């Protein structure tokens, strides 16, 4: 009986640690490849893998708009050259297409005066990659007037950037660059499909459902089968009273992993 109780406690502790570790996503992306992750035919996300295991999805699905207008409009760098960009859906700029405008594109270079539009990225196919700073990059291409242009968007994971910040950078010939700082650049930071929840939220919901089943079922069992009274009816009461210190250790473990304190940190050590 004691043995079974101890195993149950260990199991609960593991669930708690797993839930907190997965909802507190590490900002550091350890994978060096990100493979295309298409939802509803939309080419705007990729899946990070770590030793063959899915480490998270980076998707701009929740930032997309489907009104044929650029999501990020004429964002200028220091000079007079700007970039408009939309993830997932194409846009046309200016609204009434003229000759030499950007039609059905994902990215468009805009020049102020005289105003001019140069298509620099088709919505699909997108090449997904991870740069040496471990940022996911979406690379778009466009063949325009016999010249191949590329647009590289670097996604910067910022957990507090719930409002995305798009910044056009200087171009290098026909290669254009921009940075997008957003929580959606963090693995599982945003939903990757319609009505989808991020992986962390799903785990948290499962956790709370399991927790309620455990407590309600446990209390009924202790009360009616074991005839326990008062606090004694709480299942595993000794475990729960020691929980605060266990949670502290769980967090210490999670954050020691996230702060990049080295690959030698293991659960056994604490």
Interacting residues with ligand NAG (CB under 6 A): 66, 89-90, 104, 123, 158, 160-161, 165, 181
Q: Is the dihedral of CA 147, 177, 186, 65 positive or negative?
A: negative
Smallest Cα–Cα separation from 127: which of 34, 29, 32? 34
d(CA 260, CA 270): 17
Task: Tell me the closest approach of the beta carbon of residue 171 to ligand NAG, in angstroms.
Answer: 23
Give the nearer residue to ligand NAG in terms of CB position, either 180 or 203.
180
Give the nearer residue to ligand NAG in terms of CB position, either 104 or 232.
104
Give the nearer residue to ligand NAG in terms of CB position, either 45 or 123.
123
Q: Which helix (H) or strand (E) holds 180?
A: strand 175-182
Give the nearer residue to ligand NAG in terms of CB position, either 126 or 203.
126
Task: Tell me the closest approach of the beta carbon of residue 185 to ligand NAG, in angstroms.
Answer: 11
d(CA 127, CA 153): 11
Task: Tell me the closest approach of the beta carbon of residue 202 to ligand NAG, in angstroms.
Answer: 25
Task: Tell me the closest approach of the beta carbon of residue 156 to ligand NAG, in angstroms.
Answer: 7
Task: Tell me the closest approach of the beta carbon of residue 40 to ligand NAG, in angstroms.
Answer: 11
Residue that the structure tokens 């004429």 belong to: 74
Residue that the structure tokens 């195993």 belong to: 7
d(CA 19, CA 22): 5
Give the nearer residue to ligand NAG in terms of CB position, either 101 or 265.
101
Residue that the structure tokens 């893998």 belong to: 49
d(CA 246, CA 253): 11
Give SS3 for 13. helix
Q: Which helix (H) or strand (E) holds 61?
A: none
Task: Tell me the closest approach of the beta carbon of residue 162 to ligand NAG, in angstroms.
Answer: 8
């Amino acid at each position: 009986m004691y043995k079974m109780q101890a195993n149950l406690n260990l199991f609960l502790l593991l669930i708690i640690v797993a839930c907190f570790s997965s909802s507190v996503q590490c900002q550091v992306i350890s994978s060096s490849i990100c493979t295309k992750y298409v939802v509803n035919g939309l080419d705007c996300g990729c899946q990070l893998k770590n030793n063959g295991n899915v480490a998270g999805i980076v998707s701009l699905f929740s930032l997309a708009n489907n009104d044929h207008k650029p999501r990020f409009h004429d964002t200028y760098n220091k000079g007079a050259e700007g970039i408009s960009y939309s993830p997932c859906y194409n846009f046309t700029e200016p609204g009434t297409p003229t000759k030499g405008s950007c039609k059905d594109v994902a990215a468009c270079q805009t020049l102020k005066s005289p105003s001019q539009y140069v298509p620099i990225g088709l919505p699909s196919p997108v090449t997904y990659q991870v740069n040496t700073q471990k940022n996911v990059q979406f690379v778009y291409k466009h063949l325009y007037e016999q010249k191949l242009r590329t647009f590289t968007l670097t996604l910067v994971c910022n957990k507090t950037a719930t409002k995305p910040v798009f910044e056009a950078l200087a171009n290098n010939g026909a290669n254009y660059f921009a940075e997008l700082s957003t929580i959606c650049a963090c693995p599982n930071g945003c939903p990757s499909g319609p009505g989808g929840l991020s992986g962390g939220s799903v785990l948290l919901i499962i956790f709370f459902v399991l927790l309620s089943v455990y407590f309600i079922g446990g209390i009924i069992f202790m009360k009616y089968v074991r005839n326990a009274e008062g606090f004694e009816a709480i299942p595993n009461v000794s475990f729960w009273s020691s929980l605060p210190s266990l949670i502290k250790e769980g967090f210490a473990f999670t954050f020691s992993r996230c702060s990049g304190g080295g690959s030698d940190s293991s659960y056994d050590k604490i």
